[in-house]
Amino acid sequence: MAQTTGVMNGTDLAVYTSTTDDSEVLLGHATECSISFNEDARDITTKDSSGYRELLEGLRSFTMSSSHLHAEDDANNIDDLMTAWTNRTPVFCLFSTEQSGDKRWNCECRISSLEVSASTEDNVTYSVSLEGTGAPVYELIS
């Protein structure tokens, strides 16, 4: 398939995970996902800064999150995430359309939170928050 053209539809982006690299699968019934990149600045302000704060680069980090409707019979649901969290194992992730010609983020993460919500007469949902370890790779999907 060809590269996505025009303004992207948010439905096309999703989170793919696995406990082994290069075998990531789509987390089913997603309703939302996001990726965020951060940098903690180092303060280098001195008396010579004329009263203005001066900063240099510091540690960089990234986080990813995804929310889903829960289905017990879904092959790719909370089970694998719960196993990874219980065993304290890393999760390999793609934030991607998986459309040839598009770009994606490919990274290794740790599960920082896993939440299941069940309101009266409402859908059961779950959400996962992931913290990146190492540098994310922004790459072309071939």
Query: Does residue 2 have a pLDDT over 80?
Result: no
User: CA separation (Å) from 43 to 25, 38, 55?
Assistant: 41, 16, 5
Q: Label residue 74 by pLDDT band (50, 70, 90).
A: confident
Question: Domains in the chain and their CATH numbers?
Answer: 10-140 (2.40.30)
Separation between Cα atoms, residue 140 and residue 119, nearest integer Å: 40
Separation between Cα atoms, residue 127 and residue 34, nearest integer Å: 11
pTM higher than 0.75 for the full model?
Answer: yes
